[in-house]
Chain A
Amino acid sequence: MEKMARVSTALGGNTLTGRTMFCHLDAPANAISVCRDAAQVVVAGRNIFKIYSIEEEQFVEKLNLRVGRKPSLNFSCADVVWHQMDENLLATAATNGVVVTWNLGKPSRNKQDQLFTEHKRTVNKVCFHPTEVYMLLSGSQDGYMKCFDLRKKDSVSTFSGQSESVRDVQFSIRDYFTFAATFENGNVQLWDIRRPDRYERMFTAHNGPVFCCDWHPEDRGWLATGGRDKMVKVWDMNTTRAKEIYCVQTIASVARVKWRPECKHHIATCSMMVDHNIYVWDVRRPFIPSAMFEEHKDVTTGIVWRHLHDPYFLLSGSKDSTLYQHIFKDASQPIDRANPEGLCYSLYGDLAFAAKESLISSDSNRKPYIGDRRHPIFFKRKLDPTEQFEYISSSSALSVFETDVESGSMDWFVHTAKQYALAGRPLAELCDHNAKVAKGLDRNQVAQTWTMLRIIYSSLGTMSSTNLNHSMGKGSTTLPLMNSFNLKDIPSGLGSESRLDRSKGESRTENILMDSSSTLINNEDNEETEGSDVPADYLLGDVEADEDDLYMMDHENPHAEEQEYSLPQEAFPLRHEIVDNPSALDHLQDKADSPHVSGNEAETVSLTPVESFSLISISHSLYENRLPSDFFNPIVRDTLLFYAEQGDVQTAVSVLIVLGDRIRKEIDEQTQEHWYTSYIDLLQRFQLWNISNEVIKLSTCRAINCLNQASTTLHINCSNCKRPMSNRGWICDRCRQCASMCAVCHHVVKGLFVWCQGCSHGGHLQHIMKWLETSSHCPAGCGHLCEYT
């Protein structure tokens, strides 16, 4: 509306001009139709029946055909059509089943001409013959089509569809005798007007009612149909079997279709429900409408091209009681808004990027990532035959970037997923187990997190010496790793030791270490990092690369000691008695600089030393000052958020599941759901179906939980006739035999039934197992080499 364009087209002498405009009707419209000369439009509805003339700037009401004090139901129109030969002749279909013709040439106010009350139910559609003046066709809810000769009182012939209600009838434009009828049950029939006894041809076009159809104005064999199943289909009727040549999937049931004049492949549609827009599609590009008119506020009920040979003007009526003239120039083109680039990561970190060719080729000097590419860039080129109404060329380029093999390896993910224990044991054991798993994969930070969680949420008493051992870090092997982490960020904070800078990409500048302590650490690092590059690198490639600033260790560090005093009251509620393990404690004191893992926030830093101490101090201090176990919830929450932020949603979800209610309330539902879905998605892409199912089952999110309930149907074949069993139960309704017979003992299997997916034979689990010990062929004797996994 903002950019009103004035368009004029020369059409064999007379010119159409106008702009996008509308007028208010008094009532919702059901249908519209234009006069042959494109200067007038008739609008019909339950409570409206008017003729407007289309001026340059506006619609002007010319005539109200709804006359009389108490208008009868004959005026309540379901459809209206203006004769294309005689500009005085109109026909309407009334909701009460009457077909009415109107003669505008009548001198009286009431222009009603003839009434045909032959249909028993609502008439859905009327249609004039394109060349014959007196021939009118109607299709009704009662399943009949009737052909009227306007010179006679009654119908000339009646066509019975022998099926359900008729939704649309259309005379073929080129074929004098042919018309198409569409039905509520999804069928389309072709009739010869001379043969009322039987249709010429019938085919099923849609699933559910076919609401509309339209013959192509130029190509005589093409028929477009639109149905409740949200499809627009184009059929080629030239062949003996109607062939579907194009199909457009829309977002709502299709109420009307109209071929765009002068454009072979364009078709306008509007929908019956929910969606109020009018779309113009290029049937060859069915995924995005080539133009869109968004003016209406309620469903569009009628669309019509203003002139038979003008593709720029579209008129539409709507339930929102407006009549619009749309100009093609003002149409919005969704293609402009569509994102022309596509981007996707593969499982292993490879990246595919598709974009318009022009974008890619414009900067040819930008070589895409020099890592070891295994594939070159692909260029896919598809040039459409240039046509008048082609808006964009559809050539695009696809680039694939590959990450190098090592850093892209996701083995750790798979192993972790497989080995983690998420439920079924006490919390402490789960944590320990998972910590061990993480440790085994050299993911020390995660291991430490688990250990800490155990400490926080579970009693210390259950700690076994082995746990302690590994929670303390396995001696020298782990230390270098930890330290190498520290190296990375510290320089950015201190501006020193740049040779150790390992931070890649956007390095986090946030550095929360105190100067004194960090120098200290750096010193240590210097001693220990040498030679440990490779594992460090591995971890850097991983997600937790940035977390190193949290690796605070050492209670030799005086600074950390100080912090410890600030938190003397922090303690852990104990549920069980502590089993003092002297060896563990010794160990602890020896290796007091063992790292501890926690979240990324400052408070965690101050907390960490406490923990390393607490192991010593628990025995005396903690009993006295219990803290509620949720005291640490905020910290744990931050930890999880941190992991998720880093991309390690696996850790976040696993912790979430293991901790269950202890932490659930701290994190809002949506975030949790998001984590779960990402993790499940990852698992499924690695084909870890069992684990993803376990995660779904253990999740506490409603939305996630019900994922398991979706598509739980198991399709089985009958073992006799090998056809799918449509029936529920044991009996195949095709061959009328019990389908679940054990091939070994020939009894019906109730209970565990195992069968070969190749030949559908099977039986009692035990029997089949026994059988397969001796033979690998199917016990039913079908000769199949059965495969069981």
Chain B
Amino acid sequence: MIVLQEKRVQVSPPLTRGPSAFIPENEVMQANGLDERTNLLVEEYSTSGRLDNITQVMSIHTQYLESFLRSQFYMLRMDGPLPLPYRHYIAIMAAARHQCSYLINMHVDEFLKTGGIAEWLNGLEYIPQRLKNLNEINKLLAHRPWLITKEHIQKLVKTGENNWSLPELVHAVVLLAHYHALASFVFGSGINPERDPDTSNGVRLIAVNNFCVCDLANDNNIENASLTSSNFGIADSLSELEALMERMKRLQEDKEDEEASQEEMDTRFEKEKKESLLVISGAFDDEIVSTDVSRYVEDPGFGYKDFARRGEDHLPTFRAQDYTWENHGFSLVNRLYSDIGHLLDEKFRMVYNLTYNTMATHEDVDTTTLRRALFNYVHCMYGIRYDDYDYGEVNQLLERSLKVYIKTVTCYPERTTKRMYDSYWRQFKHSEKVHVNLLLMEARMQAELLYALRAITRHLT
């Protein structure tokens, strides 16, 4: 089995020249609502002067792309507390946490174009102290956002000469969260490096972690993980799909027949948290971090540590109802960095409500439960719990290989492989998988923002 798979990987063209390594080029190009989509792409091209691969892949979901581009445009180019080069450098710092050379390259260019000091690109020791101070929160946000406390905020805000004003800090946090999440999307959808031939400036990372390279490396690594167990035949996956739909229907229809007790609910959440632990146990000791990327990274060893893992200190669960995006997060973010709240709000809402009522070959399916399960599962891994959600649903709806994928994409996106991408939901269309990626990305961004904003709120009170 394994051998077969390996071969398949090798046989497939190593580097398609489409926007994504996971998705065939023609998949990306053919989608519904072509007209609208073309307009949007033309518009994007005319404003930014290029159409990067991310945009192309996202354009499968035109509606979402629009709000994504709008918010990204706002935080990078419109009025804001931070100077333009800073914004791009922060993007670089964020992307570097996940060794996402794609995003780094993109923003190195932008950084220089907006008048950034080229010297900064030599690494973190060349940047002003003020930016350097951001490292800690960048690191925590990227990997263990629940550790952010108001002390971290205080440290940034009250350091005399190099202090960050709150609006600046919020802007930075939004950028960091955005780019961490975007890195998840880039890896999750296997975005190819830009074809851009411009490699002249020397700072550009030349395809160090090219996808085929890292694919193979990672695939070897993951062998011992649970993944191989999910190799079903086509027939299997067909029935799998049927079963999934059956379960969804059941969940939607008769919720109240099994009245779960409080304890039961608690254990379900804990179980889900714990299980996310076991989802990936493959050790990545031999991580190849290229020096090109590592110069933007401080403390590269710091990675995602499972929220559920019980250390000496018992971390309290983040109760979603006590600090929601809609009530609290929005108000704070919009107060300090005007209008971004509306844009993010629209984006979150868009991704949460986006549906075509299809599942693979089936039409007219209400996918709400499935989408909610994906969203909440991501939050669950970050220790955010919804009182009104039954975490048993996650277990019923998300198969193991999907959980592996989710966990990898959100927590250590750099380890995502094509095989993980292929191994879940084999009946589903690529566009649906991109949809999943969008959900994961936004859920992750929201989780990071919630933790960071909560810390800022605590600092304020």
Contacts and interface: CB of A to CB of B under 8 A. Distances in A.
Contacts of A376: none
A106 interface: no
Contacts of A276: 461
Contact of A272 (B39, B328, B460): B328
A706 B83 contact: yes
A187 interface: no
B331 interface: yes
A95 B388 contact: yes
Q: Which of A71, A119, A274 has the most CB of B within 10 A?
A: A274
B255 A120 contact: yes
Interface in B239-295: 255-256, 259, 261-263, 265
Contacts of B79: 709-711
B387 A184 contact: no
Given A209-B326, A274-B331, A728-B43, A76 B388 contact: no
A120 B386 CA distance: 12
B46 interface: yes
B335 interface: yes
A46 B261 contact: no
A628 to B, nearest CB: 27
Q: Which of B42, B261, B345, B461 has the most CB of A within 10 A?
A: B461
Interface stretch (A581-589, A637-645, A650-658, A729-737): A729-737
A711 B328 CA distance: 27
B388 A96 contact: yes
Interface string A672-702: 0000000000000000000000000000001
A70 B42 contact: no
B387 A228 contact: no
B327 A95 contact: no
Given A74-B262, A228-B331, A117 B42 contact: no
A272 B331 contact: yes
Contacts, number: 89
A274 B335 contact: yes
Given A120-B388, A731-B42, A272 B321 contact: no
23 contacts: A46-B322, A70-B262, A72-B261, A95-B387, A95-B388, A117-B259, A119-B388, A120-B388, A122-B387, A122-B388, A141-B388, A208-B342, A208-B345, A209-B326, A228-B327, A273-B332, A273-B457, A274-B331, A274-B335, A274-B457, A711-B79, A729-B47, A733-B39
A728 B47 CA distance: 7
Contacts of A728: 43, 46-47
Given A70-B263, A228-B331, A710-B79, 14 more contacts: A78-B321, A95-B387, A117-B259, A119-B388, A121-B388, A122-B386, A208-B330, A211-B327, A252-B335, A272-B327, A273-B457, A730-B46, A731-B42, A733-B39
Contacts of B158: none
B319 interface: yes
A120 B256 CA distance: 10
Contacts of A76: 321, 387
A73 B261 CA distance: 9
Nearest to B81: A706
Contact of B46 (A119, A709, A729): A729
Nearest to A45: B322
Given A73-B265, A122-B388, A728-B43, A274 B326 contact: no
Contacts of B335: 252, 273-274
A252 B387 contact: no
Contacts of A208: 330, 342, 345
Interface in A699-723: 702, 706, 709-711
Contacts of B321: 46, 76, 78, 95, 122
Interface in A714-756: 727-731, 733
Q: Is the interface of A mostly helix, strand, loop or mixed?
A: loop
A160 B170 CA distance: 37
A537 interface: no
A73 B387 contact: yes
A253 interface: yes
Contacts of B457: 273-274
Interface in A289-306: 297-299
Interface string A343-365: 00000000000000000000000
A728 B73 CA distance: 12
B330 to A, nearest CB: 6
A18 interface: no
Contacts of A74: 262
Interface in B358-404: 386-388
A119 B256 CA distance: 10
Contacts of B259: 117
Contact of A274 (B83, B262, B319, B460): B460
A622 to B, nearest CB: 38
Contacts of B327: 209, 211, 228, 253, 272-273
Contact of A253 (B39, B262, B319, B331): B331
A97 interface: yes
Interface of A: 46, 70-74, 76, 78, 94-97, 117-122, 141, 165, 184, 208-209, 211, 228, 252-253, 272-274, 276, 297-299, 702, 706, 709-711, 727-731, 733
Contacts of B345: 208
What 6 A-B pairs have minimum CB-CB distances, sorted nearest first? A72-B262, A95-B387, A729-B46, A273-B331, A97-B388, A96-B387
A74 B255 CA distance: 17
Interface residues of B, number: 32
B292 to A, nearest CB: 30
Contacts of A117: 256, 259
A750 to B, nearest CB: 11
A352 B373 CA distance: 64
B420 to A, nearest CB: 32
Contacts of B460: 274
B43 A729 contact: yes
B43 A727 contact: yes
Nearest to A75: B262
Contact of B461 (A71, A298, A706, A711): A298
Contacts of A122: 321, 386-388
Contacts of B43: 727-729
A347 B219 CA distance: 73
Interface string B42-69: 1100110000000000000000000000
B34 to A, nearest CB: 15
Given A184-B326, A208-B345, A274 B332 contact: yes
A256 to B, nearest CB: 12
Nearest to A122: B388
Contacts of B265: 73, 96
Contacts of A120: 255, 388
Nearest to B263: A70
Contacts of B342: 208
Contacts of B46: 728-730
A209 B349 CA distance: 13
A31 to B, nearest CB: 13
B242 to A, nearest CB: 25
Contacts of A94: 387
A208 to B, nearest CB: 7
Nearest to A736: B39
Nearest to A702: B83
Given A208-B345, A252-B335, A73 B262 contact: yes
Nearest to A72: B262
Given A96-B387, A122-B388, A702-B83, A252 B331 contact: yes
A329 to B, nearest CB: 28
A127 to B, nearest CB: 19
B51 to A, nearest CB: 13
Nearest to A123: B388
A727 B42 CA distance: 10
Contacts of A731: 39, 42
Contacts of B262: 70-74
Q: Which of A117, A119, A122, A297 has the most CB of B within 10 A?
A: A122
Q: Which of A97, A252, A298 has the most CB of B within 10 A?
A: A97
